[in-house]
Structure 1
Amino acid sequence: PRISVESLTHTTRPFSFWQWHSYTQYIEFLAGFMYVTLCLAILFLIFGRSDVFVSILGFVALGLESTLPIPQLISNYKQRSLYGFRMSTLIGWVGGDTFKAVYFFVQHSPLQFQVCAVFQ
């Protein structure tokens, strides 16, 4: 089925992610983001020499990075269309992630890098 540009302008993202209904909500998000970043910085100053903390932080960071395409996939599934999704984006994701995975395994990178590379 063909989808017009007009019908795509009023779509919502999963969980209304990154869609602010007011400027105040955007400022509140930025304040919360800065608070979380500050807390992580303080935790890093306290536990930065702990291998366990650094490994957990690595798993969380790489886990977030490896799941970035999921909202796009959900949006495409709900619309039952790939309208507006560029093939160059897909090729970039697949190509970049493939090279990254090979690099992580060849260089014997830490486990969290290898796990996230396989997931991607």
Structure 2
Amino acid sequence: MDAEMVLQEDDMESSWTLLSWVASCLMVFGGALPYLPQYQEIQSSGNTKGFSTRVCLVLLIANILRIFFWIGKQFELTLLLQSVVMILTMFAMLHLCCTVQNTNRVSTKQHRLSDLDFQYFWKWSAFEDYLFSSFGFTVLCAVVTLLLLDSAVFVEMLGSLAVMFEAMLGLPQLLQNFHNRSTKGMSVKMVLLWTVGDIFKTTYFVMNESPAQFWVCGSVQILIDVAILLQVLVYNQSTQLKLG
């Protein structure tokens, strides 16, 4: 009887380990998955109007800050790897947007970082400008973090800033949709992926007792996701009524 109980416990432990490993993999790559249909949509349509590059700005800032937060306060390695994957994903999205926009550009006028024109901040024509500005921000964060790394208050503030930016992830897209009165280029499927992903992520934070900043961030993201989902449903219905 004891042998059977030991075997059952071993099976449960193995199952839990496998489930934990799957959950970690989903956390690392799950955040990037909703951008796959967006990437394909932009690539096939040759139109970037439905995607706000400010989303990339918000996510790059959030994940760069999160990496430095990890340096000051080691949490799950899974969340660190998630940040690295998300940064690479955002650069891929920015590269595609620059390629498509330059292909469709009628005017030969280029908007560059070196122009120092705030009107076109984060609306540059060259992918290299996005890389350079992100590198500059990373170096600035590195210097400040090295100087203040021993301050627990600074480390906590760094974590709060990281998740605050991440919590505002969908806000640029929400505002752009409202301004355009359109969600062209977005689909219910894509927004549902965002929402399900954020629900899973927030649940993961709570179950793994991640720093409080993380689950607060996840809760705010879910609310914004729901608002964007309502926009997609309302604006798509309005478009269909006009066509009808």
State the TM-score, normalized to the length of structure 1: 0.71
Which secondary structure does the structure 1 equivalent of 2:140 belong to? helix
Distance in 2, Cα, partners of 1:9 & 1:33: 21
Residue 43 (structure 1) aligned with residue 133 (structure 2): no
Which secondary structure does the structure 1 equivalent of 2:197 belong to? helix
Distance in 1, Cα, partners of 2:143 & 2:180: 42
Residue 79 (structure 1) aligned with residue 180 (structure 2): yes
Give the aligned residue type for 1:65: E
Q: Sequence identity of aligned pairs in percent? A: 36
Gaps of 5+ in 1: 1-7
* Greater C-alpha Rg: 2
Residue 92 (structure 1) aligned with residue 193 (structure 2): yes
Gaps of 5+ in 2: 1-46, 55-118, 222-244
Cα distance change on mapping 1:87 and 1:45 into 2, 3 Å: same
| More helix by percentage | 2
Higher relative contact order (CA 8 A, sep 6+): 1
Q: Which residue of 1 aligns with 2:215?
A: 114
Instruction: Quote the offset at 1:91 in angstroms.
Output: 1.4
Cα distance change on mapping 1:16 and 1:98 into 2, 3 Å: farther
Which secondary structure does the structure 2 equivalent of 1:46 belong to? helix
Cα distance change on mapping 1:74 and 1:16 into 2, 3 Å: farther
Residue correspondences, number = 109
Give the aligned residue type for 1:106: M
State the TM-score, normalized to the length of structure 2: 0.38
Which secondary structure does the structure 1 equivalent of 2:160 belong to? helix
Tell me how large the CA RMSD over aligned residues is: 2.9
